[in-house]
Amino acid sequence: MTLHDDDPDAAEAMIRHLYNFTPKVPPFDRDGKVRFYCKVVVAADKYGIPGLAEEAENHLKDHLVNSGDPRDVVASLKIVSEEYGDYDMLESCVSWQLRGRMNELASTPGFLVLLASQPKLLGDVVADALRYQELKRMRKCRCAFCHKIHLQTEIDYQISGNPFCCKNRCGFMGNCS
């Protein structure tokens, strides 16, 4: 059988998966491995094999997490976002990696160029930063009885004071910053 539009290694991974064998990762360099996992996700999505797509996504995440050099991570993220950015699973993989390694990647050569070339990715980073800033301004209160922590905005505090829990007012713990 010939699948003209699909990568032969990805097609083999699909067949191995369908017969309950572990997909073999060919001996690629870093970029080749990234592309292999992406091609497997694409092929699995195309042929309706969500289990294989998730497995390939998890292997890609593991590969990125185990990459010690931030320059390698940026190069890998560039491949994923530029060549396979229209696949939600792969896009979320890139966003997940950015959230976990932002401090490390921010000063890496090529990272700002990657963000500038990918408007959606830049938007995700900015949205995360705004959410973080909003969380820093939240007030924390703890119930003295059940020890549950409640978060509230400054406006909510001005309107109603500290929140109620277990029919008692919670004690102020400070801001989240």
For residue 177, pLDDT beyond 60: no
Residue 48: inside a domain? yes
> Is there a single domain that holds both residue 116 and residue 147?
no
The residue range of the domain holding 164 is 139-175
CB burial of residue 119 (10 Å; 0-12, 13-18, 19+): exposed
Instruction: Compare 3 and 50 and report the one with higher pLDDT.
Output: 50
pLDDT at 74: 92
> Is there a single domain that holds both residue 91 and residue 114?
yes
pLDDT, one tens digit per residue, over 120-151 is 888 888 888 887 777 667 777 887 777 788 77
> Is there a single domain that holds both residue 103 and residue 159?
no
Residue 143: inside a domain? yes
pLDDT at 135: 67
Task: Count structural domains, the chain.
Answer: 2
Residue 2: inside a domain? no
CA separation for the pair 13, 35 (Å, rounded): 13
pLDDT at 35: 94
> Is there a single domain that holds both residue 154 and residue 79?
no
> Is there a single domain that holds both residue 94 and residue 126?
yes
pLDDT, one tens digit per residue, over 82-95 is 998 888 888 888 88
pLDDT at 157: 72
